[in-house]
Each structure stands twice: as C-alpha cells, then as structure tokens.
Amino acid sequence: MCGIIGSFNKKKLDDNKKKKLLDLVHLLKCRGPDNLDYYFDNKNFLGHTRLSIIDLSSNSNQPIHSNCKRFIMSFNGEIYNFKKLASLLKDQNIVNFSDTKILVELISKFGIEFTLLKLQGMFSISVFDKKNNFLYLARDFFGKKPLYYFHNNDQIFFSSTLSPIIKNSEIIKEINPETLSYYFNNGFCPTDKSIFKNVKKLMPNSYLQFNLNSWELLQFEIHKKTKTNKFINKFELNKVETLLINSVEKRLISDVPVSLLLSSGIDSALVSYYISQINKNIDTYTVGFSNSLYDESKDSKRIAKYFGLKNNTIMLDDQKLSKSLSDIANAFDEPFADSSQIPTMLIFNEVSKFSKVCLTGDGGDEIFFGYNRYQWFLIWKLFFKKNILINKFSKNFFKIFLNVFQKAKFGQKILNKKNLTTNKLEKFLDIFFDKENVYEKFLRTSSEKNPISDNFKSFGNLVNVKDLRDHDINNYLVNDILTKVDRSSMFYSVEARSPFLDKEIYDYLENISPDVHVSIFNRKKILKNLINQKLPKNLISKSKKGFAVPLNDVLFSFYNDVISDFHKIKNDDRLNFINFNIIEGVIYKYFNNKDYKLSYQVWSYYVFFKWFKKYQHNISG
C-alpha cells in the first residue's frame, strides 16, 4: 500500500517547480513511510511513497520501469492474484517476483485494458507510456483506493489524497457549494466530485486515458455492469463459503504481520473463523467503551477465544478521544463526518504498533444486504407507499406518540435494546410518510434545512430493494465506509483489506434474488446461515452496533470548541454562500434544547469547521 502522485505538463519543468513537486510527495509519507522515490523528465513527474508489504526488498520500489523501458508506473494497492497472472509472463525475464513487477510487465505485454480486466485486488494505478506519450489512471472495482485529479490547458496533476492538491500553489482551490451541500446532507462528499470545483475523483471501476500530444481526456469503464431483472432463487451455500475462504486466504498473503479488526457482529466474526482455520497466530483488535450501549469488547473477546485467536481490547478514554479528534483534520483532507471515524482511527493507531496489514469485515452489509434500511424499505413499500391513511394528520399523531414513547422509561428500554436512536426514529417516520423515492432520506444526517441548498440530489428511480443495495455499493460504501477505512488506516501506515469486497463473490451473488438475502423480518440471511454453523447463538451479537460512538457525549465535551470555531469562520467571505443562521439555529437547538436527534448534523458542521480552519490559507476566494 502506498501513495502516488504525478504532474504532466505542456511546458518544461524548471528546477523550482521540480523542488515544489518533491515537497508535495512528502505529504503522502504516512501512506508509505518505507521508501520515497520519483521520476522526472523534461515535462513530467511521477512520485511514490511505499508501504512495504510484499517483497520487502528495494526491487519493488517505485516508480518502476517495465523491462522494455517503455512504461513507468506508480501504483498503490495489492494485486491478490499476481502469482496466477505471472503464468502469462513465462516468456518474460522477470527476476523480481512481486505484484508490482508482474503488474507493470502485464501492461507492457498486453496493454492497459486487458490487464485491468484480469486484476483481483485493490488499486489506484498511474502508468506513463513514454512511446505513445499517454498517461493512464485507473481505480479498482469497488473504489477501495482513492485517486484525485486536476487538469486544465497546461497541466494534469493527480494524487492519492487531496492534501498535495491543496498545497499545490498552481491549482486554484475554490469550494464547490454543490459538494458542500451534499456533504451537509450526507456527512461525506459524492463519488465523482471533490470539495473543490475543479478537482475530481476518479470513479471506481474506471480508467482515464490522457493523450499528452492532443491533450484529450477519455474515461472508460473497466468491467461492464449490466442490470438484470431475471433473478434466481437457488444458490449453493457451500459455493459462497468457498469463495469467502479463498478471499480471506488471498488477503492473508503478506511478508509482514497481519491482524484483524473484530467486533461482535456477523461479518468480522465470520472472517475471524476463516482466519482461525488458516492461521491461529493472528491477533484481533476491538475498541471498548465504558458505555455498555456501544461496547462490544466482551462479546468480541468471547468470539476470539472460541476460535482460538488472541483478542486485544483498546478502551476509548478521554485522552485517546482528544487525540483521535485532533488527528481527524490531518487524516481526512476533505470534509468527512461519519463519527465512527473516531474509534476507527483509534484502533488503527493501536494496530500500527504491531501490524502493517489488517483485515476488516467491511462490505458485508452491502454485498449481503445487511442494513436495516433494506427491511424498512420493504415495510414502507408494502404498508405505507400506497396507503391512503398515510397523510400529514396521521404523521403528526405518530410524532406525538413517539415523543411520549421515547421519553417513557419502558420506551427508552425498548429503543436501547433495538439500537434505535431519536435520529433514526425521526428519519424512519419521515420515510414512512413519504410517497416518493425515499433512498436519500435513509442516509441524510437530519431533516433540518440544508444551509446551502435543500434540494435533494436525485438518485434515479429506485423501485426495489436491490436498487437500494446497488446505490449503497456505488455511493455509501465508496464515499463513507471505504473512505473512512482508507484514511484512518493509511494515516497510521496500515493496509486495510476487506475479504467481503471480492469481485468473485460479487459476481456470484449478482443474479441471486434479493428475497434470498432480505425480507421484512430478516436480513443478511446467507451470512447468518453461515455463522450459525460456526458459532453458538449466545455469542452472536443480538443488535447491530456497527462502530458507533456515544456522539452526544463527544459533542457536549467539545461544546466550547464547536461554538468558538463557528464564530471564527462564519463571516469569511469565501463561505458567503452558506446560510450560517440555519447552522446557528441547529447548534442552539442541539446544545440548549437538548434536541439529540441533531447530533449527526452538528457533528458534520463541527468537522467542516475544523477542516476549513486547517486549510483556510490554501483555499481560494
């Protein structure tokens, strides 16, 4: 796992610009602390910072040339099937047998399109074809590895993260109001856009071709996705298990120690089982909380013990909390407000002391229909969508009833048991009484008016539960889950691997009916079937906690900081498109009126305040 960066220009690079580019490479050092190297010619630059995982020798340092010297590559990621792909290169004289060398030689022999179709893994790739004067940028199927790029009539600049672009004085960085509005609604930025108007993200499962002669840019899809309405109801559980075992085994390939993030949920528990069948000398890590509503450490420890694995619990105390919060603005160089980033950063910080590679359970909820919103969507579609009794009058009645219910002790007890917060209750109420497409409201931070624009971005006509799941893969997974894990892990120089996000698993399940996965009364049925064969029911978590934190406690402990940051930026002319009266009103209702359903919204404001303060001297007017 590494950091990549590049600059391709119409004009020659002078010594001053070369020095500036080398300075920017160092901003990616946390993504690759083991080696820093670069390539220059008259007009072009490629940089690389390396986190050594496979082949720890200098032979796999980058940028790396193909044997024929035509191609030079700077690559971030892991290719899990590189040993199998090496068989395609039997006629080549390859001394260095690593995924890096295999990759560049495949591109040299077969071309970029053929090679990308063959890869199993996670990656962002930059390749310079010196003969044809072409630059290629590519990103993996699920978008696990990030890649930002900027281009105008004079230069093309790209980087694994946004910070080198932010610090590049030649690039104008003006905040995109549309992206920021999206962020305030969702807590993260969209798939193709960055926080800045003229900086984009490369889409997952795609590659760009820059013709450096004509300055033409073309974008291509790598794996063609075809939507089908013909689902099958039969599947082989043994086949799913075989695919999962193979996926875990591939992700254990490493020349450095490997570990696992373990919660008490189904996903990481299954991964821990398959790991235990391969290697019991792998440590597991869990975050613990003093608040029992969020704590999974005891359950996780029991699961690890049952499978014969060692478990390490990292308790979240005030000192560690403060450290995590201070690191957020450094690790996330774009506004990002999923509060589970706090324990995620904490645990990767601890893991980094012992391991460079860490497996996770990420992707199980998307691939295997695990979110409760899929059940709620089915309930809405069946009972509410066309029900004439669902109107604004009945909605007001339910609001009054829920308000009384959640204040009563027995109501609080039931809601806590079901892990239903006031934020979720209000969200579900709004969804049930909406007759239109409801997907956006499942993910929205709150129902409060957006301080920039309150117009929802249309996600198209989502008519069945698979449409929601597909949008989660293309939206929530890549922009929230994978962004959180990549930035948190790489900030501490740890490579995170996700066995559930394997294209072979995805392809096998793609034509299986959603009914096999989810119903009104149950979800993630395939994985539940598997885990019930491995683990006693009393060890499996009864409620889905995710990686949640007691956000109200966090925010109230930083009340003065939230208010201070708000007043420091509210009069900045560069933010004159924001209605700060709306933000002030939400903050007041939350802190003064104890309107706890606004916690996610206030957190998104607070994270943005911190981000803007950190980079305010680099942002254009």
Q: Looking at residue 14, what DSSP letter applies?
A: P
Query: Would you place residue 91 in the very low, low, confident or very high pLDDT band (cuts 50, 70, 90)?
Result: confident
Using only C-alpha atoms, the chain has a radius of gyration, in whole angstroms, of 24
pLDDT in tens, 161-191: 999 999 999 999 999 999 999 999 999 999 9
Q: Report cis status (omega within 30 of 0) of the bond before 146.
A: no
- Number of helices (H) and strands (E), helices first, in the chain? 26, 17
Name the amino acid, one letter, at 327.
D
DSSP assignment of 427-482: HHHHHHT--S--HHHHH-S-SSPPSS--PPPP-----SHHHHHHHIIIIIIIIIIH
Name 433's bridge partners.
Answer: none
pLDDT in tens, 266-325: 999 999 999 999 999 999 999 887 766 677 788 899 999 999 999 998 887 767 777 777
Question: Cα–Cα distance between 47 and 64 in angstroms, integer?
Answer: 10
pTM, entire model: 0.93
Residue-level pLDDT at 356: 95
Predicted local distance difference test score (pLDDT) of residue 538: 85
How confident is the model over 355-371, as pLDDT tens digits?
Answer: 999 999 999 999 999 99
- Does residue 456 carry a pLDDT above 70? no
CB-count exposure of residue 314 (10 Å: 0-12, 13-18, 19+) = middle
> What SS3 class is residue 615?
helix
Q: Does residue 425 register a pLDDT over 70?
A: no
68-77, 461-470, 507-516: range with lowest mean pLDDT: 461-470
Per-residue model confidence (pLDDT) at position 541: 63
Residue type, 618: N
Residue 547 pLDDT grade (very low, low, confident, very high; cuts 50, 70, 90): low
pLDDT at 128: 98
CA 316/CA 319 separation, integer angstroms: 8
Place of tokens 């929530």: 476
C-beta atoms surrounding 550 within 10 Å: 19
DSSP per residue, 145-185: S--EEEE-SSEEEEESSSHHHHH-TTS---B-HHHHHHHHH
Assigned token pair, 188? 């993260």
Q: Please give the pLDDT value at position 121.
A: 96
- Please state, rounded to an integer, the average pLDDT across all residues of the chain: 90
Query: Is residue 26 over pLDDT 80?
Result: yes
Query: What is the torsion angle, in degrees rounded to the nearest 10, for the CA atoms of residue 244, residue 249, residue 252 and residue 255?
Result: -160
Q: With CA atoms as reference, report the closest residue to 472 among 454, 459, 488.
A: 459
